[in-house]
Each structure stands twice: as structure tokens, then as C-alpha cells.
């Protein structure tokens, strides 16, 4: 997904992805924004230790990598979190990427899935669209629901694709996209056919998610530290040397490698960066070995150039136009080039939420997989629920929270008459929700569904928005 649409999603969804966390009542001294993996694994506990040590306060705005890098580049934040190094883009070029910890990239599915191990070749072929059914890797005869995070610049996605395809911006055959790994993980918990990537630090100890072994090696802190688990990656804190708070930001980054900072990292299943000298030494050979195993080779990232359009007031019409923008990849995945689509910037994020989707055509499965298209869907304001209570209306602004989604669906049920919808061939709960302008959680609640699985011909209850 191009940089401008990524930026639109990043800003528009901060209010819906995760609520802002302020780790002190006092006036803030630094602001951090970035991917939820770095936020939960590194920054959240680190900010508390930083404050206790008397260094000041830090405000957290966890969302995704693209939003963090944009914010630090523009001066809206002092520190960003990223699970990838600089991509060489215009936004990244003026920033300082400092590795602070090592984590494992883990492929995940449901605990009910009998598959427990995949080879690197199989992982590559799943993302390339050659493997589309779990029975092709020793599992049940059921299609794979491949999930990914919307932005190719997302740290976790970028790092995995760099390892498997030699380029972090490589398009993949993932029909369902999410704004960050937190939302992806939530869907994996609900879908027995799910497949996606997140990190060891994010799901270690979560009984609702199964981490798959790679070539017989289980992901763990020790297998990452030894390098026997091949999909290890750095986590970065990113600063802007031109920022007025550059010195304080650097002090915070340095704090992560102090004894107190190292203790925080280890408590979150992370390896402090300084303890990974062996990983640095083997990184180049490891990358070459993975690419050789899957039959790929390294290639340069496409240059991304951001528009210099000024921030301006946003209108529903402007976002509707952006929603209809389709970004098509080149027919040949081996020679894909980057593209940038200008999208309206937002001066306010109040009451804004959205979702990202990809749509792969029928030829996208099997060895002939050739095309991935994507568009952004953003809606404004609170859901219009006639005569709903003020409490239920308020919860509509944070629809990703399960409790709030249930309240929202309940209020909608009381406020509007129901209608029936018959599931067509090839439709998913996601495409149906998008078609009717409602949330997946609402459809699940209205129909008492336990997961995101629907059958062709199934009749669903749909409420009006």
C-alpha cells in the first residue's frame, strides 16, 4: 500500500487502533508513537522505569510503524518504534534508527489447527499464493485465511518479506489486511483457518494463538538468542536529530541499554541488542541461506516520494474519494515497482475510524498468482444509531474493543429493523461487513457467530447503520 494511503490510515485510525496512554499525570517531556510490537515489548515498561528513575514522563501513542515514522519526521512525536530498519524512503532518510532489542518473527495460527511446523519454502509459497489450502502442508482440507498488516512499510511485515523475498515491499497473497498486529492477532484467535505473522514478544504465553515451528525449530527467547530460529529481527527506536527534544530522546534510547532498561527487555521475552553480537555476525549468511532455500534473491526497495501537500481540513467527500482509490501492483510480482497515490491529509482525527482491505482476483491463487489490489475504506463520525443511548453511541468511536463492539451491536439492534442477507459464493464476513457499512464484530453479535467463518447460502441478520 503506498505511503500516502498508509499515512491516511495511520492518522485516521489512531483513535480506533489503541487508545493513547499517558504514563504520568504530570506534563509530558517526550512523545512516542509507533508499532504496537515495540510499544508493548519495549516502550511501555521502559517509560515507567524511565519515570521512576526521575528522567521525566513519556506519552505513548501505539498504532503502527508508518504512523510513528511520519510523526517523528514531522515533529509530532519525539521517538518512533519500528520493527524494521530504514527502508531508504524519503520519510526514513532524515531519521536515526537505533536497534535496541532482538525479537522473533513468528507465523501464527489457531491452536485447533493440527499443523505445527512449516518449512521456509512453505511459508514463502503461502505468501506467494502457491499454497492456499491447509491440506497442502499436512493439515485439514480447508482454505487458508492469510492475514497481513495493511502497510508494506509495517515493521513486522517488511522484515519478514525482506527475509523471504529479498525485498520488504514485496506484495503478498493476503486477502485480509489489518491496521496493526494487535488487530491481526485478535482475528487469528477467532479463525481456525487463520495464518499470519507477528512477533514472539507479542504472543508468547498467549494460549489462544499457536506459534508455528520453522524447519523444526520452535520460536523462543533462547532459539532467537542462539540464531537457531532463523526468523529473528531487530526492534528499533527512531529519533529525529533535528527535533528540539533530540537530546532527551537520545537519552531515552540509551536508557534501554542500561541495567534497568535491559531488565525491562528481558521481562518481555526480548533479547537486549548488545547481547546479540552473534546474531549480527551471522545476519548476512542467514539472509543468503533463507533466500537460497526459497529460490529468491535480494533486490532494491522502490523509492517512495511523499507529497508535499499541506495539511488541510478534511471533508467526508474527500475521504470518500480516497476510499475509491485502487492501487494495483504490476502483473509480475518479481518485478513490482512502487507507486504513490496522493490522499487527503487529516487535520483532526476525532470520531474517525476505518479498515483496510485487499482484494485478490481469481487468478491470484496457485503458481500463477499475479495481482494484488488494495483500497482504503474510511468512515467519519459516530455510527448513526437512532434513539440509541448516549453510552452506546460513545462506544462506537472505539469499535475494536470487544466489550464496546457488543454494546454497539446491541444498541443498533434496538434502533433499526433487521434485514436478511444471503452469503454469496466467495464472500467473507469482512467483505459483507464492508458492503453493508457495518463492523465485523456487529455481524458476529447479531448472528451469534463464534468466529469469522461463513458459508455460501448462509442467511445473516444485518442491521441498518
Same domain, 237 and 88: yes
pLDDT confidence band for 437 (50 / 70 / 90): confident
Query: Given this model, what pLDDT does residue 3 score?
Result: 44
User: Does residue 130 lie in a domain region?
Assistant: no
Report the predicted TM-score, pTM, of the whole model to 2 decimal places.
0.64
Query: Given this model, what pLDDT does residue 397 score?
Result: 32
Higher confidence at residue 85 or residue 321? 85
Query: Given this model, what pLDDT does residue 79 score?
Result: 96
Cβ proximity of 2 and 151 under 8 Å: no
User: Does residue 89 lie in a domain region?
Assistant: yes
pLDDT of 409 > 80? The answer is no
Same domain, 241 and 93: yes
pLDDT confidence band for 417 (50 / 70 / 90): low
CA 61 to chain centre: 15
Separation between Cα atoms, residue 343 and residue 4, nearest integer Å: 6
pLDDT confidence band for 457 (50 / 70 / 90): confident
Query: Given this model, what pLDDT does residue 80 score?
Result: 95
Tell me the backbone φ, ψ of residue 73, rounded to 5 degrees: -65, -35
pLDDT tens digit sequence for 266-312: 999 999 999 999 999 999 999 999 999 999 988 877 654 332 222 22
Separation between Cα atoms, residue 416 and residue 365, nearest integer Å: 39
> Nearest 5 degrees, angle CA 231-CA 162-CA 367?
100
pLDDT of 341 > 50? The answer is no
pLDDT of 408 > 60? The answer is no
User: Does residue 364 lie in a domain region?
Assistant: no
Q: Lowest-pLDDT range, 43-57, 164-178, 199-213, 341-355?
A: 341-355
Burial category of 91 from C-beta neighbours within 10 Å (exposed 0-12, middle 13-18, buried 19 and up): buried
User: Does residue 347 lie in a domain region?
Assistant: no
User: Does residue 94 lie in a domain region?
Assistant: yes
User: Once rounded to an integer, what is the mean pLDDT over residues 329-350?
Assistant: 24
Domain edge (last residue) among 258, 289, 320 = 289
Q: Which of 303-317, 321-335, 429-443 has the highest mean pLDDT?
A: 429-443
Query: Given this model, what pLDDT does residue 87 score?
Result: 82
pLDDT of 461 > 70? The answer is yes
Here the cell at position 409 is 451491536
Separation between Cα atoms, residue 115 and residue 136, nearest integer Å: 10
Query: Given this model, what pLDDT does residue 179 score?
Result: 84
Domain edge (last residue) among 243, 264, 289 = 289
Higher confidence at residue 40 or residue 405? 40
Query: Given this model, what pLDDT does residue 411 score?
Result: 46
User: Does residue 185 lie in a domain region?
Assistant: no
Cβ proximity of 128 and 70 under 8 Å: no
Here the cell at position 46 is 521502559
Task: Select from 256, 292, 300 the least CA-distant residue to 41.
Answer: 256
> Nearest 5 degrees, angle CA 258-CA 260-CA 263?
105
CA distances from 56 to 80, 167, 252, 377 (A): 17, 39, 10, 39
Cβ proximity of 357 and 375 under 8 Å: yes
- CATH number, domain at 391? 3.10.350.10
pLDDT tens digit sequence for 138-179: 999 999 999 998 865 689 999 999 999 998 888 889 888 888
- CATH number, domain at 21? 3.40.190.10
pLDDT tens digit sequence for 199-215: 999 999 999 999 999 99
In total, how many domains does the chain have?
Answer: 2
Helix axes 3-12, 65-74, angle to 10 degrees: 90
Domain edge (last residue) among 265, 289, 313 = 289
Q: List the domain range (segments joined by +) for residue 60.
A: 3-101+232-289
User: Does residue 211 lie in a domain region?
Assistant: no
User: Does residue 326 lie in a domain region?
Assistant: no
pLDDT confidence band for 465 (50 / 70 / 90): low
Amino acid at each position: 500500500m503506498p505511503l500516502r494511503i498508509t499515512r491516511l490510515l495511520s492518522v485516521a485510525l489512531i483513535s480506533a487502533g489503541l487508545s493513547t496512554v499517558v504514563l504520568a499525570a504530570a506534563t509530558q517531556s517526550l512523545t512516542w508513537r509507533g508499532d504496537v510490537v515495540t510499544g508493548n515489548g519495549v516502550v511501555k515498561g521502559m517509560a515507567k522505569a524511565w519515570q521512576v528513575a526521575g528522567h521525566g514522563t513519556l506519552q505513548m501513542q501505539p498504532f503502527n510503524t508508518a504512523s510513528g515514522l511520519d510523526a517523528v519526521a514531522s515533529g509530532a512525536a519525539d521517538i518512533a518504534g519500528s520493527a524494521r530498519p530504514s527502508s531508504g524512503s524519503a520519510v526514513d532518510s532524515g531519521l536515526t534508527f537505533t536497534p535496541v532489542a532482538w525479537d522473533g518473527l513468528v507465523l501464527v495460527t489457531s491452536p485447533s489447527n493440527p499443523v505445527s511446523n512449516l518449512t521456509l519454502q512453505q511459508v514463502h509459497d503461502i505468501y506467494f499464493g502457491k499454497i492456499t489450502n491447509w491440506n497442502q502442508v499436512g493439515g485439514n482440507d480447508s482454505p487458508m485465511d492469510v492475514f497481513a498488516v495493511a502497510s508494506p512499510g509495517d515493521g513486522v511485515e517488511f522484515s519478514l518479506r525482506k527475509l523471504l523475498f529479498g525485498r520488504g515491499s514485496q506484495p503478498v497473497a493476503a486477502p485480509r489486511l489489518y491496521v496493526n498486529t494487535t488487530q491481526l492477532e485478535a482475528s487469528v484467535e477467532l479463525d481456525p483457518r487463520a495464518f499470519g505473522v507477528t512477533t514472539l514478544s507479542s504472543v508468547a504465553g498467549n494460549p489462544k494463538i499457536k506459534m508455528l515451528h520453522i524447519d523444526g525449530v520452535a520460536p523462543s527467547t533462547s532459539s532467537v538468542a542462539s540464531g537457531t530460529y532463523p526468523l529473528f529481527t531487530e526492534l528499533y527506536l527512531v529519533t529525529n536529530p533535528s527535533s528540539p527534544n533530540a537530546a532527551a530522546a537520545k537519552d531515552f534510547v540509551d536508557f534501554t541499554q542500561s541495567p534497568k532498561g535491559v531488565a525491562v527487555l528481558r521481562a518481555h521475552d526480548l533479547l537486549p541488542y548488545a547481547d546479540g553480537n552473534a546474531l549480527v555476525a551471522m545476519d548476512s549468511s542467514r539472509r543468503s541461506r533463507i533466500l537460497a532455500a526459497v529460490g529468491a534473491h535480494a533486490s532494491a526497495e522502490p523509492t517512495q516520494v511523499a507529497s508535499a501537500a499541506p495539511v488541510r481540513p478534511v471533508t467526508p467527500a474527500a475521504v470518500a474519494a480516497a476510499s475509491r482509490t485502487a492501487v494495483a501492483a504490476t502483473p509480475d510480482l518479481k518485478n513490482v515497482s512502487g507507486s504513490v497515490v496522493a490522499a487527503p491529509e487529516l487535520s483532526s482525527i476525532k470520531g474517525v475510524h476505518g479498515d483496510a482491505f485487499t482484494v485478490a482476483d481469481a487468478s491470484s491463487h496457485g503458481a500463477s498468482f499475479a495481482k494484488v489490489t488494495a483500497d482504503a475504506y474510511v468512515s467519519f463520525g459516530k455510527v448513526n444509531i437512532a434513539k440509541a443511548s448516549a453510552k452506546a453511541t460513545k462506544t462506537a468511536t472505539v469499535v475494536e474493543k470487544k466489550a464496546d463492539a457488543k454494546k454497539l451491536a446491541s444498541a443498533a439492534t434496538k434502533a433499526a429493523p433487521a434485514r436478511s442477507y444471503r452469503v454469496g459464493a466467495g464472500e467473507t464476513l469482512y467483505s459483507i461487513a464492508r458492503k453493508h457499512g457495518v463492523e465485523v464484530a456487529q455481524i458476529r453479535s447479531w448472528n451469534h457467530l463464534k468466529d469469522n467463518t461463513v458459508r455460501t447460502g448462509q442467511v445473516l441478520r444485518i442491521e441498518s447503520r
